[in-house]
A = this chain, B = another copy of it.
Amino acid sequence: MSTDEYTNLSEIRQHVLDIAKAQRMAEFFATLSDPNRWRILSALATGELRVRDLADVVDMSESAVSHQLRILRTMRLVRYRKDGRNVFYGLKDDHIFNLYRDISEHLDESDDD
């Protein structure tokens, strides 16, 4: 038997994430797949910041930051609050930093083995 399967594939197929769900997972992770977005999030972890100061602190242009904030907004990772001509952004919840801690450990593990 050469072309035959080694496993019962039809059973496994049922456990494979369906396209829609896989897509949603991928989109979420894509949101966190940019270094500058991590820097933005880590800045906001210290508290609310207006766009201008945020840009200053992460060393990006205001426009670039604004574009990135839109992405973080649609993925509901940040909230915002208008105050006069300023807009203050903050983290929506701490979820992300538990995540950060977990992954951080995983990345450190990778050194051995």
Contact = CB atoms under 8 A, between A and B. Distances in A.
B30 A16 contact: no
B57 A16 contact: yes
A13 B107 contact: no
Interface residues of A, number: 52
A57 B8 CA distance: 10
A106 B28 contact: yes
A81 to B, nearest CB: 12
B45 A6 contact: no
Provide the main secondary structure of the chain A interface.
helix
Interface string A1-30: 000011101011101110100111111111
A55 to B, nearest CB: 11
Contact of A58 (B16, B37, B110): B16
A43 B23 CA distance: 15
Nearest to A24: B107
A80 interface: no
* For the complex of A and B, 5 pairs with smallest distance between CB atoms: A30-B33, A22-B35, A29-B32, A22-B38, A29-B33
